[in-house]
Amino acid sequence: MFWDIAFSTLGGLGLFLFGIQIMASGMQKAAGDRFRRILEILTNKPVIGVLTGILVTILVQSSSTASVMVVGFANAGLMNLSQAISVIIGANIGTTVTAQIVSFKIGVIALPAIGIGSLLNFFGRRRFQRYLGQTVLGFGLLFLGMTTMSNGMMPLRELDAFHNMLAQFSAYPILGILAGAIFTALIQSSSAATGVIIALTLQDLIPFHSAVPLVLGTNVGTSITAILAGIGANVAARRAAVAHVLFNLIGVILALIFLQPFTSILVETANTVPRQVANTHTAFNLFNTIIFLVFLKYFTRLVCYIIPGEDEKIEFGPKYLDPRILRTPAVAIGGAKQELLRMASIAREMLGESIQVFIHGDLKKIKHIEQMEDLIDGLEKEINIYLADLSQHSMSREQSNAVGHMMSAANDLERIGDHSENIVQLGELKAEERLPFSTTALDEINELYSKVDSMLERAIIAYRNDNHELAKQIVVEDDEVDEMEKNLRMSHIDRINTRKCYPQSGVIYLDLLSNLERIADHANNIANLVLEE
């Protein structure tokens, strides 16, 4: 009997988690793969942040994932602490939607949903139809998992030890909270943990008063992921992670203090235990949200006190593009140049961090690099739109040429960001596949990177100061980099042919050389713009 229960429960849980993953993937794609952008356009109004957190969590079907995204944005400096806290609060509400859905006894639709979803996914002519099919398929798998778990747990009714354990949860709620927190931390999903609790109630295996502490514990356990994401990150990211833990922990303590009236009220919200459990999950997070929104300013101060330090925030979007000065082209061109120099600094930082990912396997930097790439893409678009608007005004020939050069420079910098992202992907592959690289190969990469980075640094200086002599040096060095890349490529091919190098490592090495050489080309393009002026 033990193995029947174990296999049914694990299999059902696996279907449930896979269903959530498939459903989330389909919803994200149907939404246009822009859900990460939602977080970037937050205003400073906490209520908007909460609503954004709810929406993003519904899309990704995981408050843990949403919280990790928030930590990543905070680490990139694209979100301040108040915004991060408001989104995290909203994420906790958003994750209750899944519990509300599965609490209804509609398992009968599982197989039809799987069938319809599969047909749409495989035979849909349009991408939206396929994404919708994926969502419906995930929805069906989710309910099939719930039914499998519920049916598999039926024999637990006969086990006295199980009933005694549940009695302990009723008598000592702290034990139930710990059990719920540990289980949620292990499976990394409060939605799935709540789903298991609801599956138990569907078989009348667990009374409502025993389920409440377990539900409260899932809210604590789900914050573990954010803590892991914050390890090694900057001050802002660590504060966001701590805020997530404190939000749930303080809320659970308050719920424990008022546990008797809290449960008495929620018993009256529905006629069935599964619905009461789902309502408990939602009510806890709603009440918690109201309390923390009222005391948000003081909560933010508490988090800053726990994690001291300066919170540096990179301003997302343009800083120097003022539409009001478009009628004064000379001033507007100066502002656009400042924005380009800011963009160049970010591109160079991206290059440096991407090399760190590749050489040292520092995968924690990847989230930051991704945000920087989004920032560079956005700046290129904003700069080009601004310059296009500027070109509609009366300008001298020199000013028109400067506008054209700036558009070219913005494109070069955006391409440098793309190549840096390519290097990050190569670094991920190297780390995940544990591909060996000799000390000689790593030294060669460092040598070429140092040369390219120096070129890019001086190209930025030459562009800032209109330094023709420095620009000429860069043009000469570009040929040197081309020759250096060619020699390194040939010597590495010889190592592959003589079996001194692992073939797959060799392919990645050559691809990395190509990306660095192209970055040097873009630095050379910027230097040539200086010479053309």
Asked whether residue 182 is assigned to any structural domain, the reply reads: yes
- Residue linked to tokens 């009997």: 1
Give residues with Cβ within 8 angstroms of 499, minimum separation 6.
none
Q: Please, what is the angle between helix 208-221 and helix 259-267, to 10°? A: 110
Asked whether residue 313 is assigned to any structural domain, the reply reads: no
Over residues 3-12, mean pLDDT: 74
Please give the structure tokens belonging to residue 178. Answer: 């710990």
Q: Are residues 295 and 402 in the same domain?
A: no
Q: What is the pLDDT of residues 12-23, one digit of tens each?
A: 777 766 776 776
Q: Are residues 380 and 422 in the same domain?
A: yes
pLDDT at site 43: 47
| Maximum average pLDDT range among 11-20, 179-188, 290-299, 494-503 | 290-299
Pairwise pLDDT comparison (303 vs 314), residue with the higher score: 303
Query: Which of 394, 397, 411, 487 lies closest to 448 in space, CA to CA?
Result: 487
Query: Domain holding 401: CATH number?
Result: 1.20.58.220
DSSP state of 314: P
pLDDT at site 76: 52
Over residues 323-334, mean pLDDT: 84
Q: Are residues 269 and 340 in the same domain?
A: no
Q: Please give the Cα distance from 311 to 304 (Å, whole number).
A: 9
CB-CB neighbours of 503 under 10 Å = 9
Pairwise pLDDT comparison (510 vs 43), residue with the higher score: 510
Q: Are residues 241 and 375 in the same domain?
A: no
Q: Are residues 255 and 394 in the same domain?
A: no
Question: What share of residues in the chain are helix, strand, coil (percent, to 5)?
Answer: 85, 0, 15
pLDDT at site 90: 81
Give the range of the structural domain holding residue 515, as residue numbers without chain letter: 329-532
Asked whether residue 201 is assigned to any structural domain, the reply reads: yes
Q: Are residues 334 and 301 in the same domain?
A: no
Report the number of distinct structural domains present in the chain: 2
CB-CB neighbours of 85 under 10 Å = 28
| Maximum average pLDDT range among 298-302, 378-382, 498-502 | 378-382
Asked whether residue 60 is assigned to any structural domain, the reply reads: yes
| Maximum average pLDDT range among 78-87, 133-142, 145-154, 248-257 | 248-257
Q: What is the dihedral of CA 421, 426, 431, 434, to 10 degrees?
A: 180
Return the sign of the alpha-carbon dihedral for residues 300, 306, 310, 312. negative
Pairwise pLDDT comparison (241 vs 118), residue with the higher score: 118
Q: Are residues 375 and 492 in the same domain?
A: yes
Q: Are residues 275 and 348 in the same domain?
A: no
Q: Are residues 387 and 243 in the same domain?
A: no
What is the tally of helices (H) and strands (E) in the chain?
23, 0
- 387-423 burial by CB neighbour count: b if 16+ within 10 A, else e? beebeeeebeeebeebbebbbebbebbbbbbbbbbbb
Q: Determine the Cα angle at 475 with ends 380 and 405, to 5°.
A: 30
Over residues 139-147, mean pLDDT: 74
Asked whether residue 320 is assigned to any structural domain, the reply reads: no
Query: Could you tell me what percent of the chain has a pLDDT over 90?
Result: 20
Q: Please give the Cα distance from 3 to 6 (Å, whole number).
A: 5
Q: What is the pLDDT of residues 77-115, one digit of tens each?
A: 556 677 777 887 787 787 777 667 766 665 667 788 888
pTM: 0.54
- Residue pair 15/141 in contact (Cβ under 8 Å)? The answer is yes
Question: Read out DSSP for 30-95?
Answer: HTTS-HHHHHHT--S-HHHHHHHHHHHHHHHT-HHHHHHHHHHHHHTTSS-HHHHHHHHHHHHHHT
Asked whether residue 287 is assigned to any structural domain, the reply reads: yes
pLDDT exceeds 70 at position 315:
no
Q: Are residues 336 and 229 in the same domain?
A: no
Query: Which of 85, 80, 88 lies closest to 56 in space, CA to CA?
Result: 88
Pairwise pLDDT comparison (248 vs 422), residue with the higher score: 422
pLDDT exceeds 90 at position 421:
yes
Q: Are residues 502 and 373 in the same domain?
A: yes
Beta strands in 264-403 (DSSP E): none
Asked whether residue 316 is assigned to any structural domain, the reply reads: no
Over residues 451-478, mean pLDDT: 92
- Residue pair 57/23 in contact (Cβ under 8 Å)? The answer is no
